[in-house]
C-alpha cells in the first residue's frame, strides 16, 4: 500500500457554464459538496480523465433539476494521500470502518443510514450509508493521528 500516488491526473466536473466560468476567472471558489448522501463523503467530485462523462452528468444530473447551460470544469489533481478504492488494502479499511459504524449503531440502538434510489433513477444515487462509512474512516484517521486522506478514488457505474 503506497502512502501517495505518483504523478498527476486530469479530472472533469460537470456543472453549469456560469459556475465553470466563475471558478476559472477567479470570481468564485468551487463549493465543496457537503451532502450526507454523497458517495465518497464530503468534498469535490471529479471524473478521472473522462470529459465525456462529466458532460453527460451536466446534461443528466441524477435527481437534480436540469442544468441550464451544461459545461465541464477541468482540473489537474495530485492525489497525494489517497484512499484508493481500487486497491484491496484500502477496501479493507473501508470494511473496518463499516464494521465499526455498525457495532456503534448496535451498541447504542441506532439505525445505520441506508443507500437508496433517487427520483427517476434505478441506481442507489443517495448513498447515505457509503458517505457515513467514508466520513467515519476520515474521523478514525484523525482520531488516531494518522495522515489524513486528502482524496478518495473509486469506480462508479451509473445505471439510469
Angle of helix 128-143 relative to helix 88-107, nearest 10 degrees, comes to 100
Q: What are phi and psi of 20, to 5 degrees?
A: -55, -50
Q: DSSP readout, 32-94?
A: PB--TT-TT-SB---EET-HHHHHHHHHS-TTSPPPSSEEEEEEEE--SSEEETTSHHHHHHH
pLDDT tens for each residue of the chain, 160 residues long: 455 556 789 999 999 999 999 999 999 999 999 999 988 999 999 999 999 999 999 998 876 678 999 999 999 999 889 999 999 999 999 999 999 999 999 999 999 999 988 776 677 778 999 999 999 999 999 999 999 999 999 987 765 5
Amino acid at each position: 500500500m503506497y502512502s501517495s500516488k505518483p504523478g498527476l491526473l486530469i479530472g472533469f466536473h460537470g456543472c453549469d457554464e456560469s459556475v465553470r466560468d466563475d471558478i476559472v476567472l477567479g470570481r468564485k471558489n468551487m463549493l465543496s459538496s457537503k451532502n450526507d448522501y454523497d458517495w465518497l463523503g464530503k468534498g469535490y467530485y471529479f471524473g478521472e480523465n473522462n470529459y465525456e462523462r462529466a458532460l453527460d452528468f451536466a446534461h443528466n444530473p441524477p435527481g437534480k433539476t436540469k442544468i441550464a447551460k451544461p459545461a465541464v470544469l477541468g482540473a489537474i489533481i495530485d492525489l497525494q494521500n489517497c484512499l484508493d478504492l481500487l486497491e484491496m488494502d484500502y477496501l479493507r479499511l473501508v470494511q473496518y470502518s463499516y464494521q465499526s459504524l455498525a457495532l456503534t449503531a448496535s451498541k447504542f440502538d441506532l439505525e445505520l443510514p441506508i443507500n437508496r434510489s433517487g427520483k427517476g433513477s434505478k441506481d442507489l444515487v443517495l448513498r447515505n450509508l457509503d458517505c457515513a462509512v467514508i466520513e467515519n474512516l476520515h474521523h478514525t484517521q484523525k482520531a488516531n493521528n494518522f495522515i489524513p486522506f486528502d482524496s478518495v478514488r473509486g469506480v462508479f457505474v451509473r445505471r439510469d
